[in-house]
Every structure is written in C-alpha cells, then in structure tokens.
Amino acid sequence: MCALPNSPPALTIDVLFGDRYVPVMITSSPTTPFAFSPATATYTPPMTPQVSTALPAMMMADKQYWTTHPTVMSLPMAKSTARAAGNVVVRPVWAHNLREEVELIESLLRRYRYAAVDTEFPGTVYRPKVPTYALTAEKKYALLKANVDELHLIQLGLTLFDAAGRLPDLGTGVQYVWEFNFREFDVRRHRHAQESIALLRSKGVDFDRTRRDGIDAAAFGPRLRKLLRGGLGDAGVITFSGAYDLAYLVKMMLGSGYKLPATPAEFESVVKAMIRKRLYDVKEMARRCPRDIDLRGGLDRVAGKLDVRRAVGEAHQAGSDSLLTCQTFIKIRERYFVGDDDLTTVAGIVAGITAC
C-alpha cells in the first residue's frame, strides 16, 4: 500500500483482479392483488462487509486515468475463474464514469447490433402460496408488478455482440462487457429478500458503495432511451427469463415513480413502445427446442447442457450473466434456430409471462 502525493485521506478506485474490476480503498495515512404472502425478514440490519486480504502487489493510483483508459493490467487473482476462449473483462460503471462509458457504448452500436441484458434486484418480497407453475399468466404478472413497483434495481449487465458472437475489444485484444451500478436501493431502509441480499453480498456487491458511488437511475433512464434510439439492440435484445429484466428497464426509463400497467396485455404494449426492438428470450427458445433435447432449468443449467462455459465472473453478477446469456443465445441459435424463419417463431416471447 503506497501513499499518494497530495491525495485525499481515502480514495476508492477500480482495480483489475485477473478478469474483473473490484473496488480498492487507498489511504494516504502510513499507519405478490392475489394470494401473495410477504417474504420473511424483509428488513435486515447492516452487515459488516467481508473484505478480502488478497490484494495485488501493483495498483493504478490515478482514478481519472483508470476510468478513461481501457488498458488492462495483468494482476494476481484473489480466486481463479474458469474461462472460455478469449479474455473478457467486466467494465464497472458508476456515477463518476457514466458519461464516458455511455459515449463509448454509443460509438459501438453500429457494429455490435445485439444486446444481452441481465438485472440484479433485491429478490421478491411478494410471493405466491402455490407453486409458480400453477399460476395463470395474469397472476404471474400481478406478482411481478407488485415486486417491481415496490423494489429498486441494483445492477444492470450489458453485453454488446455481433451476429457471430464477437464482443467489443476496443483494439486491446481484450473483450469487454458492462455492469451498471445504481444507488437507489438502501439495504437499511428498503424491503428486500434477505437471502437475495446475502447472495449478492457473497458475489461482491458492496451496498455501501452502491449508495455512495452508484448511478442515479432517474438520470440514467433518459440515457437508456437515447441508447435504444441510437441503435442499442437493433438486431435483437436478448434476455433469459426476461420478464423482470424488461419490467425494471421500463420502470427506469419512465421514472422511479412509475407503476407498471395493471394487465399483461398493457405491459406488452408498454414494452413494445419503450424497447422497440425484437426480443429473444433464451429460456423460451430452450423450451421450444426438440422434445428429445432436455434444456430445462436456469441459465447456468441450460448453458451447461449446451457446453457453454462462463467466460468471466460468477452467477448473479449482472455483467457476467449478461455475457452468459449472449453465449447461450449464440449456441442455441446455431444448433436449433438456423434460419431467420426459425428465429422469427420465438421473437417477442418472454418466458413466464406473455408474448411481447
């Protein structure tokens, strides 16, 4: 740990640990209207963050340089990560580098015309008293609406890719995906599912930092609308079981005070109006594969059955999950939806709710 000349008492910078940026503190001191029941323990006291002591020997101390230059340093990893061919890095986006990262994304949209998205949120606080599969589409949507109306988005993962599955490398030889961090959720005040928050903590989400350095969702909404108008996902917006993902995106674009429509059909209309792109839900694509192919399950299970390995990070990290969604879409399209007509049969179907 080195002292920085003319530095403030403490500075948080994003440092690359092998394949993922993590925040490091540098100091200058030497020394569900249906039968829904609320989830249990919806409030929890602040937890003591778990800090890894496995720090790299080198650091980049200049925060401004780090946020404006995509050069990648080879630093020791705190934990090894299985990866596919190619080196992929997650670019974290905070309030301080939002403008630069959005401008960078805008510059890439003409070449990378597909967009895979994933969201992380505080779980669900309204839950049905019967298994989800027993609910009608209307009841599933009412459950979604109750949760999204009340809760706040924590992270948005974004992977840009072309028709062959190539990601932006910015001329560095390293491929990039994005992870936006939002500040609205306060674990001390807002309702949440305790197990979901514990899981996100275990995956590296620092809820103190998201509150301090996160993006204002209200300010990001117009930027997201501009990105969509500018070509984001022109060839397709890809999700995995994406009803909640789309609902949170719509809520963000229309403002935090916005309440989702009352019915699935109205929700469908709003999604079409706001996204205005062809939607592909990988879970629905898997469901429509030949009956002798068992592609049931969550994202990791479906990806594993298709021999797709996670290239960066872990499950329930928004950037990593958006990339795995992209990779799984490419593989399932290559195997089972070869022609444009085949792909058209699944366009606009959002798993678990309704046709969009």
> Phi and psi (nearest 5°) for 223?
-65, -40
Q: Please determine, for residue 213, whether its predicted confidence score (pLDDT) is greater than 80.
A: yes
Res 216: pLDDT: 96
> What Å distances lie between residue 84 and 18, 106, 112, 239, CA to CA?
14, 27, 20, 21
| pLDDT reading at 83 higher than 60 | no
Residues 112-130: tens digit of each pLDDT:
999 999 999 999 999 998 9
Structure confidence by residue, pLDDT tens digits, 180-205: 999 999 999 999 999 999 999 999 99
User: Contact, 249 vs 127, CB < 8 A?
Assistant: no
Q: pLDDT tens digits for 298-317? A: 999 999 999 999 999 999 99
User: Which is nearest to 119 in space by CA: 86, 91, 144, 152?
Assistant: 152
Q: What pLDDT is stored for residue 341 in this prediction?
A: 79
319-355: per-residue pLDDT in tens? 999 999 999 999 999 999 987 778 888 888 887 665 4
Using pLDDT thresholds of 50, 70 and 90, give the confidence band for residue 280: very high
- Backbone phi, psi, residue 113, to 5°: -95, 0
pLDDT at 330: 96
Rounded CA separation 290/348 (Å): 20
Q: Is the pLDDT of residue 64 over 90?
A: no
d(CA 144, CA 206): 26
Lowest mean pLDDT among 14-28, 91-105, 146-160, 174-188: 14-28
What pLDDT, on the 0 to 100 scale, is given for residue 86?
63
Strand partners, 43: none
Note the pLDDT of residue 181. 98
pLDDT of 68 higher than 50: no
- Can you give the pLDDT at residue 32? 39
3-state secondary structure 265-284: HHHHHHHHHHHCCCEEEHHH
Encoding tokens for residue 211? Answer: 């509150």
Mean pLDDT computed over 268-279: 93
Q: Which two tokens stand for residue 108?
A: 């890439």
Interval 16-25 mean pLDDT: 50
Residue that wins the pLDDT comparison between 72 and 152:
152
Domains defined for the chain, CATH in brackets: 10-37+62-344 (3.30.420.10)
Q: What is the mean pLDDT of residues 281-291?
A: 89
Where do the DSSP E strands lie in 203-302?
Answer: 236-239, 279-281
